[in-house]
Structure 1
Amino acid sequence: MKLKRATYRHIEAEIYAYEETVKQIEQLRQDIILAGNAEIRPTAVNEGWRSSSVERRATKLADYILLREMERITGAIRDTYIRCKEEARRVIWVKYGLAILWEPPDWLQAAMAGKSRFDMRPDDMAAILNMDRATFYRYKNGFIYGIAERLGWY
């Protein structure tokens, strides 16, 4: 079975945004923790509307649901990445700039210096990695499909 185009692109967008998502998760956790400790008093807002405890609870619940989903997606990316071989990690770093608990080799960093991942063609990326285009796609697609499988989207 093949992934839908929108699902494939959504997973790619999540990979590109991995580092930012991890930062947002930490910020959201802090907000939820600190909101539970703070004493919240109803305040008058626009024409006498007041915030209620039900509204505050609903907001916290929505934040918690968002946090769980963000953790699930980043967890799937991290777990799939950790299971990858060295060659696949190189492909992932060149394509998405993602390195989790791994440092790209110096020669690879030097080869990518001054180049934009978004402007490079897959053929150029494969040439930098000294591999065939089909091999590049195999590793890239394997990573995407591994994440989709882990999330239950495939």
Structure 2
Amino acid sequence: MKGVGVLKMKRATYRHVEAEIYAYYDTLKAIEELRKDIILAGGQDELGAVVGGGYASSKVERRATKLADSILLREMERITRAIADVYTKTKEEVRHAIWVKYGLAIDWQPPEELVAKMKGRNRFDMSVREMADMIPVAESTFYAYRTGFVYGVAERLGWY
């Protein structure tokens, strides 16, 4: 066994955490929409359901839907909270790499020079070398920053 005591995260887990980081802002929007839906659905219990209008036709179905929505809401909040918590503990230079790679900036603004360098660039089409040059750091340092952040989020979520 290579590296006794060192567990390597499964590739699928790593990719899943990265997808959650990329989707951070979309998830925040979805949380707000889901909260609104749950609040509005709460009023349906007293008023009766609209059959065929997207609402469940019985009280049991409405309660089950509300429960499923609240479970989803809690998980989405847990994930975004984990990302934000790990992010707030990162150093300035790591935030540069996270912003270049994922477009993530929580209560932080990337330096104007970095924004100017990224203007017109698509982070999904950039190589690690190009991203590292933006900051500027060595490729290995860029990898370390990125991997450290992803592992930190995964650990905070209990996925690693």
TM-score over 0.5 for the pair? yes
**CA positional deviation for 1:41:** 2.2
For 2:60, which of 54, 59, 66 is the aligned residue? 54
The 1:42/1:133 distance shift into structure 2, 3 A limit, reads closer
Q: Distance in 1 between matches of 2:12 and 2:47?
A: 41
**Aligned structure 1 segments of 4 or more residues deviating by more than 4 angstroms:** 42-45
The answer for the alignment partner of 1:133 in structure 2 is: 139
Post-superposition CA distance 1:101-132 (Å, at most 9, x none): 00000000011111000000000100111100
> Are 1:30 and 2:36 matched, yes or no?
yes
The 1:114/1:56 distance shift into structure 2, 3 A limit, reads same
Q: Distance in 2 between matches of 1:127 and 1:44?
A: 57
The answer for the alignment partner of 1:2 in structure 2 is: 8
Q: Distance in 2 between matches of 1:86 and 1:44?
A: 53
Report the number of matched residues. 150
The 1:43/1:83 distance shift into structure 2, 3 A limit, reads closer
The 1:32/1:119 distance shift into structure 2, 3 A limit, reads same
The answer for the alignment partner of 2:80 in structure 1 is: 74
The answer for the alignment partner of 2:122 in structure 1 is: 116
TM-score by length of 2: 0.90
> Are 1:94 and 2:100 matched, yes or no?
yes
TM-score by length of 1: 0.93
Post-superposition CA distance 1:15-42 (Å, at most 9, x none): 1110000000011111111211233425
The 1:120/1:55 distance shift into structure 2, 3 A limit, reads same
The answer for the alignment partner of 1:151 in structure 2 is: 157
Q: Structure 2: any 5+ residue segments left out of the alignment?
A: 1-6
Residue 41 of structure 2 aligns with an amino acid whose one-letter code is A
Post-superposition CA distance 1:53-86 (Å, at most 9, x none): 1110000000000000000100100000000000
Q: Structure 1: any 5+ residue segments left out of the alignment?
A: none
The percent of aligned pairs where both chains have the same amino acid is: 63
For 1:41, which of 43, 48, 55 is the aligned residue? 48
